[in-house]
Amino acid sequence: MRKRTLSQHARARIALLWLIILCSWPWVACAQAPAWVTSQVSAPNVTRQIFFSAAVGAQVSYHVYLPDEYDQNPDARFPVLFYLHGAGGVLGGIAPISAQLSQAIAQGHLPPLIAVFPNGLPYGMWCDAESGLQPVESMVVQDLLPEIEARFRTQGGWRSRLVEGFSMGGYGAARFGLKHADKFAAFSMLGAGPLQLDFLADDPGLAPIALRQQILQQVYGNSLAIFEAQSPWRIAESSAAALRQGYPIRQLIGSLDSILPANQAFHQHLDAVPVAHQFLEVPGVGHDALGLIQAIGPSFFHFHRDALRAADRLMGDGFEAQ
């Protein structure tokens, strides 16, 4: 009897150990309360901020990069870049992207701007979850945008806002840029995914199927139809007529990126809709945001500069987004 009891305990301990291991792996989305407040990233010109989001009903953190000019010229106001992180981690890209911004500003390739790094949760997909527990899109669009304009010296309004993201963040930038074009001057997708219409497609180049099944359950209510309705592919179809003429849209993808085929298909779909956009396959680059930036060089940031200038011209012509 004692021997059998010890064996049951041993099996239970082994099962618990495997559960802990699985939940610690970055590609497994374990069921747990959303972590709306993160730790602070240590990087030049970067601070963590916390605000109350009505959509979430709780405190939410974000990080913000302020250029040197923000303190040097206390009367100046600045445009804002919202940079959306990829899946699996919220904080990893903040320091390297901020460093790239500082370098581009110092070299004159980019006007001084504020960069905001929202907390979209590791697998929040930059949309509102069907469960209501992860209202990431509403948190950003309804709450964070006005929070930034109230707290910092921004130029204000759509003409001074850009949205960009990598991987899951590129998917999010496309969703925000197409669905909320009246709130942004331009959007940019870097190695964006998922862009395929079948979230559970049998494709070794996509994220592990176990992870996709977890995300489908937690974000899309276990419904492939809801995933498809939320996709940039379908949003582009429904919003194309409302996009303002000359709206700058950029899609970058590395030639060695495993999600290149889905990006090529999305590019062709935008052409067919049609939605005017820039598309560039970057030779020799895989699924790597910094690799894309460094391979393109200064012209990477010229997109942001030119988009802000174009928005200023529209404002000068009396155009006003609704």
- Cis ω before 232 (30° cut-off from 0): no
Q: Report the C-alpha gap between 297 and 275 in whole angstroms.
A: 26
Q: Report the C-alpha gap between 148 and 164 in whole angstroms.
A: 16
- Find out whether 300 and 292 touch, Cβ atoms under 8 Å: yes
- Find out whether 227 and 216 touch, Cβ atoms under 8 Å: yes
147: tokens are: 């929070």
Give the model's pLDDT for residue 6: 37
Give the model's pLDDT for residue 5: 39
Domain locations in the chain? 31-316
Give the model's pLDDT for residue 32: 60
Residue identified by tokens 């939410």 is 60
Give the model's pLDDT for residue 31: 47
Q: Report the C-alpha gap between 232 and 238 in whole angstroms.
A: 10
Give the model's pLDDT for residue 205: 87
List average pLDDT for each run of 10 residues in the chain, which is 322 residues long. 40 37 37 85 98 98 98 97 96 97 97 98 98 97 98 96 98 98 97 97 92 97 98 97 94 98 98 97 98 97 96 56 38
Return the CATH fold of 31-316: Rossmann fold (3.40.50)
Q: Report the SS3 class of residue 319.
A: coil
Residue of 151, 142, 147 lying closest to 77 (CA atoms)? 151
